[in-house]
Structure 1
Amino acid sequence: MVVQQHRSGVGVRAVCALAVVGVMAATAGCSGGGGGDDRAMADERGGADSLDVVHRAAAVLAGTVHGTGTGTGTATGAGARSVAGSAEVRTSMETAAGGTRVTIRGRGAYDFRNQVGRLEVALPEDAAGEDRHRPITELLAPGALYMMNRGAGVPADKWVRIDTTTLEDGNLVTGGVTDPMAAAELLRGARQVTYVGRTELAGVAVRHYRGISDIGRAAREASPKSRGALAAAAKGFRTDTVPFDAYLDEQGRLRKVRHRFSFANEGPAVEVVSTTLLYGFGVPVSVRLPDDRDIYTGKIRQRQPGGTRARARTKAGA
């Protein structure tokens, strides 16, 4: 397991307090460590282009390149073109600390060309300090995360806007959902890739790749709209390597990706497993971002590790 750690214990606690809409903070404190290997390699069992196939996954989803297949690197017939651009999305983010395991689930759709999406995020019972919590609506956009039904003193008809380029994790875990484009863009930083083998997802034949991704490299190679948030994550993490499992279909489209993050400080380690599942490619996606008058600018109560409460101020456009 490669460990993600922030540059300071204070930074870790701040992210944990906000992460997954307060759920991570409610489950445990945070703690520290590990490293990674700089070698780039592709397992010959997956074809000589295994590393390239993984690197291209985000571009294939955005439709800026056509999938070239995931086998030998050649493309013929229907496999030479891929229908992507948008997809239906299911997500799960599981945190584990001190023997406590919490899973947050999301469902919606995402437009990879414009990098906007809408998800309904369901918190488990009691995770937010309540028996039941209304699903949180999240709008994802380049550099921004909008949340409705955030709770913590935010009026029910108002949105909270967070500038993801200022978050120490670049919103890789903060909202309880890893932005689907960010999840794919992280694969641009892959520096180790091993071909695991063929399998099926919901009846679709896919190839399974496992590897290590470097957030800094991903930020440098990412599309302009994704670069800011990933660059923030690269600066905010002391060890910016992330283990992943990626499943691509015969057209080179990413069908499933799982990233493993680990936070550590003086308390119990907090493990975070973020999984993104893509299907229904080409689905229409309509996302209208809130007007400034609909964005809450007051104070938000946040749980800190240990159960104490703090108050944070949000700003329109911040």
Structure 2
Amino acid sequence: MVERQLRLRGSAVALAAATAGLVVCAAGCSGSGAAAEDARGAEDPVGILHGSAENLVGAGSSKARTSMEMATGGTRVTIRGEGVYDYGAQVGRLKVLLPQDPAGVDERRPITELLAPGALYMKNRGAGVPADKWVRVDTATLSDGNLVTGGATDPFAAAELLRGTRKATYVGRTSVAGTAVRHYRGTADLAAAARDASPGSRASLRAAAKGFATATVPFDVYLDDEGRIRKVRHRFSFVNGQQKGTVAVSSTTLLYDFGTPVDVRLPDAKDIYAGRIAE
């Protein structure tokens, strides 16, 4: 009986030791991949960010939310947008909601924006444009390359800006909308981004490099474990010709639901307004 109890006790000890080993492995081994990713992210943040736009192309498409904040006339205003984007074709659709006037009596209908390489199409633009017509803007002719003008930064242009990253640091792990992400902070050079961008973004970014008040753009970006951008915030500074001063703009893009179907059809020539647009 004593011998049997000793055997049972020895088996229990062995089982406990094995269980403890599994627990240790579960606690330590499961985090080893994340730790390796963290180490790699800390070693070469610039290289990782240079490749983040290509990771979006690999993802195919996503939904997007945008937010643009700026101070104008002593008042801080926020322009919000929501839509979808196809990174392979570099086309997207956003509904952008402008803020109400200060009295709150001017109900603003959302502006529908279609984003395409080198072009921005807007519907419900107002300013004398018929409701059933689109306005087409050549983004390379805009001093900001349409990073700000449309009230939302093109999601792929926001990613292409990171190709110009010159300095970046790995901040640490956090979460965005329930997804584990790695947070990076740095600055991007607009001219370098234009040089290394895809052909569809190159002319617009080149225009921004010439038109912004500063050649560098500070940013915070959050990548998931597949290297895809989940959130990016750029802080732009451009010269406002009307106010003859520099305006600071914070543009945030949130990407989610990767692989979502995207159907964007650009308007025919007959549907584009060719008349004069009131300011």
Q: TM-score, normalised by structure 1?
A: 0.72
Select 2:54's aligned residue among 39, 42, 59: 59
Structure 1 position 87, deviation (Å): 0.4
Select 1:85's aligned residue among 44, 47, 60: 60
- For residues 261 and 126 of structure 2, the distance between their equivalents in structure 1, rounded to whole angstroms, comes to 30
Match of 1:183 in 2: 158
Tell me if the contact between 2:213 and 2:239 (Cα under 8 Å) persists in the aligned partners: no
Counterpart secondary structure, 1:283: coil
Select 2:272's aligned residue among 283, 287, 295: 295
Structure 1 position 267, deviation (Å): 5.0
Match of 2:195 in 1: 220
Q: Structure 2 counterpart of 1:178, which letter?
A: T
Match of 1:6 in 2: none
Match of 2:82 in 1: 107
Structure 1 position 237, deviation (Å): 3.0
Select 2:257's aligned residue among 265, 280, 283: 280
Q: Which has the larger radius of gyration?
A: 2
- For residues 171 and 127 of structure 1, the distance between their equivalents in structure 2, rounded to whole angstroms, comes to 26
Select 2:122's aligned residue among 104, 125, 147: 147
Q: Structure 1 counterpart of 2:258, which letter?
A: F
Q: Structure 1 counterpart of 2:187, which letter?
A: I
More helix by share: 2
Structure 1 position 95, deviation (Å): 0.8
- For residues 115 and 279 of structure 1, the distance between their equivalents in structure 2, rounded to whole angstroms, comes to 17
Q: Please give the per-residue CA displacement for 1:25-71, whole angstroms capped at 9, x wherever unaligned.
A: xxxxxxxxxxxxxxxxxx978421211111111011012xxxxxxxx
Counterpart secondary structure, 2:261: coil
Identity of aligned residues (%): 69
Q: In structure 2, do the counterparts of structure 1 residues 289 and 279 end up closer, same or farther at CA, with 3 Å as the change threshold?
A: same
Q: In structure 2, do the counterparts of structure 1 residues 100 and 268 end up closer, same or farther at CA, with 3 Å as the change threshold?
A: farther
Q: CA RMSD in A?
A: 2.0
Q: Structure 1 counterpart of 2:232, which letter?
A: V
User: For structure 1, which runs of at least 5 residues remain unmatched after alignment?
Assistant: 1-42, 64-83, 303-318
Structure 1 position 235, deviation (Å): 2.3
Tell me if the contact between 2:144 and 2:238 (Cα under 8 Å) persists in the aligned partners: no
Moved over 6 A (4+): 127-130
- For residues 87 and 276 of structure 1, the distance between their equivalents in structure 2, rounded to whole angstroms, comes to 12
User: For structure 2, which runs of at least 5 residues remain unmatched after alignment?
Assistant: 1-37
Counterpart secondary structure, 2:201: helix
Tell me if the contact between 2:41 and 2:48 (Cα under 8 Å) persists in the aligned partners: no
Q: In structure 2, do the counterparts of structure 1 residues 269 and 230 end up closer, same or farther at CA, with 3 Å as the change threshold?
A: closer
Match of 1:49 in 2: 44
Highest RCO, 1 vs 2 (Cα 8 Å, sep ≥ 6): 1
Q: Structure 2 counterpart of 1:58, which letter?
A: A
- For residues 177 and 216 of structure 2, the distance between their equivalents in structure 1, rounded to whole angstroms, comes to 30
For this pair of structures, how many residues does the alignment match? 240
